Structure 1
Amino acid sequence: MRSQRGWFLLFLLVEVVVALFATFGGADFDPLTGLLVLAAAGGWTLVTIRAQREQENELVRVRQIAELAQQAVVRPLPPRLGGVSLAVHTRSANDQSLVGGDLHDALVAPSGVRVIVGDAKGKGMEAAHLSAVVLAAFRRHAAAAPDLVTLAGALDAELFPHLGEEDFVTVLLAEFAPGEVRLVNCGHPAPLRIGHRLEALEPPEPSPPLGLGPDPRMRRAGLGLSQRLLLYTDGLSEARDADGVEFPLDHHVRHALAAPGLDHALPNLLDLLDEHAGDLRDDLTLVLAQPVPVPDPAERVPGPAPGDLGVTVLPADSGNERP
């Protein structure tokens, strides 16, 4: 619409120029020449407007195709999966760019509900391609992989042939079992446990992202029915205000995410984010999860015993948790 106004103004300017020549040109002004100039300018304007409309229509079609492709790659999650309630929010930094590098998915495995959240380096179709590869690998291997470390290795192996020299994908894998969550982090922001306080569940040791030789270790953390876990991409943690200050993950965030109902908690968090940063400069994915009671004991699938992995499970909100 703005472009059409521009061409109309240009056409109007040509008319004004012709009128001025007609008024002040005196005997030297040829009215036929003025009419030809005016007709040529009008015809050129109409052709340009039509071409502009065709281009805009083509962009709309491309946008629709991109939206369908993104929906096919990143599937919407149900509000409940197994013994876990879920709420998801995704947002693009650019309304015109629906295809990006953020990814998420979840499924039920024999050892519990498994969730993936990740972020491919870059933007646009190249990042979307890497995201699609990781998601496809997750859907192939997540149900059968014996543990999350093995799953991370399978994702890295399938991603490797598709990587350029500087490509990588950060990934956080979570497995929800009764009373706890198991985490494997490959270069991704640490998830937040929301309870009496807000805690970042950092990995036992840092690991590079997929594509850069990941070597993660699993962390186990208590997660009760009254607690929640937020998995997110760096569009949240690296959102900056006008002074360059990053979005603080503080008690305000804890209060927002503790709202009754997951469907109210994420909007509260987004209000805080918008107040701090305004326009997003990066894609954003939020997955908020909370364990729920499973009435039928037959639906409860126990995970491996704590001693099987040589780790200690401490109560939720413990400040002395060990990997």
Structure 2
Amino acid sequence: MIGAGVAVGTCACPGVVPLPRLLALGPLLALPGLWVMLMARDRMRCKAALVRMTRVAELTQQALVRPLPSDLGGLATAVQSRSASAGVLVGGDLYDAVLLPCGPRLVVGDVRGHGLDAVRISAAVLSAFRHTAATEPDLIRLAHALDDRVRDDLDDEDFVTLLLADFVPGAVRLVNCGHPPPLRVGRRMELIEPPYPSPPLGLWPTPRLHTVPLSPEQRLLFYTDGLTEARDAHGTPLALDHRVRNALRAPALDEALANLVGVVDQHAAIRDSGGHGDDLTLLLVQPHAGLLTGPALPVAKNDGVPGAPRGNPGRS
């Protein structure tokens, strides 16, 4: 731009520079200005391409983590999810739901690690769930099917914690593969620990079925370890105490989760300016009084009984 200005200035004062020299220097003086204009045009093109790529990435992430309806077959739901990485919608956490003829079915999971590898594995688990969940009535076989699908995508130290849930009249049926236990909140608050712990997907899980009573007066919180591993400035993890219970007893489910996120943020020390310490997913559900007017799932014969591990305990 300076060169262009000089060229214009000399053209405006022809008596200062002889005309032959002016004609020779004019193109040279104009080159910097032309270069600046070309760079500005390329920068605008790059910016437009980045905007398009960012939009494609956002749409792809939104397709992976679909919003849940506020009512799923008589089950009220609310979700809060955020990635540990700033500007990223999807991390290692995953969740989804389908409505079967016999009732709602949910999945919540957590891939070990962060970044693109975690997103890739999350996508594989969600794809397998969406492909299989509507046609496989047995939660234990579903867990094995998801493990078979994701195993080839995992490195030696990778795994996926997973929690599957089927909601039936008056109860919820759970299969927990190494995931933090859900929290049932009513007149009192309690963790629903699995009677027989199972390793996560990728580590030869031994899923078991566990049936737990759940009334319309109670709520069930599914979460990832971003809740229980949120630490304050002294490294103390968040306790599931009266603060959590009070937050979850808000009149509306969305309000309850917003309150709980506030409790987490008040407790946790932000490790850096780029984001939070870990991915966090909170899924809160509450059955309506008329949940499931259709037939309930048949009671599995292995309810609460350890399932037999399959294959060699070593990684294939």
Which category describes the TM-score, using the shorter chain as reference length?
0.7 to 0.9
Alignment partner of 2:261: what SS? helix
- Note the alpha carbon deviations across 1:139-162, whole angstroms, 9 max, x for none: 121122232111100100111122
Alignment partner of 1:156: what SS? helix
Is the 2:159–2:202 contact (alpha carbons within 8 Å) kept by the matching residues of 1? yes
- Note the alpha carbon deviations across 1:103-162, whole angstroms, 9 max, x for none: 110012244211001111222221111111111111121122232111100100111122
The residue aligned with 1:128 is 119
Is the 2:111–2:159 contact (alpha carbons within 8 Å) kept by the matching residues of 1? yes
CA drift at 1:53:
6.7
The residue aligned with 1:191 is 182
The residue aligned with 1:290 is 286
User: Residues 125 and 248 from structure 1, CA distance in 2 versus in 1: closer, same or farther, beyond 3 angstroms?
Assistant: same
User: Residues 83 and 186 from structure 1, CA distance in 2 versus in 1: closer, same or farther, beyond 3 angstroms?
Assistant: same
The residue aligned with 2:277 is 281
Matched, 1:303 2:297: yes
Structure-2 separation of matches of 1:52 and 1:99: 29
CA drift at 1:84:
0.6
Is the 1:236–1:247 contact (alpha carbons within 8 Å) kept by the matching residues of 2? yes
The residue aligned with 2:212 is 221
Is the 2:228–2:239 contact (alpha carbons within 8 Å) kept by the matching residues of 1? yes
Instruction: Choose which of 142, 156, 180 in structure 2 pairs with 1:151.
Output: 142
Structure-2 separation of matches of 1:68 and 1:140: 20
Q: What letter matches 2:297 in structure 1?
A: G
Alignment of 1:196-211 (within 5 A): 196-211=187-202
Is the 2:111–2:118 contact (alpha carbons within 8 Å) kept by the matching residues of 1? yes
- Note the alpha carbon deviations across 1:260-291, whole angstroms, 9 max, x for none: 11121111111111111153211111110000
CA drift at 1:92:
1.6
CA drift at 1:164:
2.1
User: Residues 293 and 62 from structure 1, CA distance in 2 versus in 1: closer, same or farther, beyond 3 angstroms?
Assistant: same
Instruction: Choose which of 48, 53, 56 in structure 2 pairs with 1:62.
Output: 53
Alignment partner of 1:255: what SS? helix
Is the 2:216–2:286 contact (alpha carbons within 8 Å) kept by the matching residues of 1? yes
Structure-1 separation of matches of 2:269 and 2:37: 39
Which blocks of at least 5 consecutive residues in structure 1 are unaligned? 1-38, 313-323
Alignment of 1:1-150 (within 5 A): 58-150=49-141
The residue aligned with 1:240 is 231
Alignment partner of 1:274: what SS? helix
User: Percent same amino acid among aligned pairs?
Assistant: 53
Instruction: Choose which of 259, 274, 284 in structure 2 pairs with 1:268.
Output: 259
CA drift at 1:58:
4.9
CA drift at 1:311:
5.3
- Normalising by structure 1, what TM-score? 0.76
**250-259 vs 62-71, which moves further:** 62-71
User: Residues 255 and 53 from structure 1, CA distance in 2 versus in 1: closer, same or farther, beyond 3 angstroms?
Assistant: same
Structure-2 separation of matches of 1:178 and 1:278: 41
Cα RMSD (Å): 2.7
- How many corresponding residue pairs? 273
Alignment partner of 1:162: what SS? coil
Structure-1 separation of matches of 2:188 and 2:169: 21
- Normalising by structure 2, what TM-score? 0.78
User: Residues 224 and 48 from structure 1, CA distance in 2 versus in 1: closer, same or farther, beyond 3 angstroms?
Assistant: same
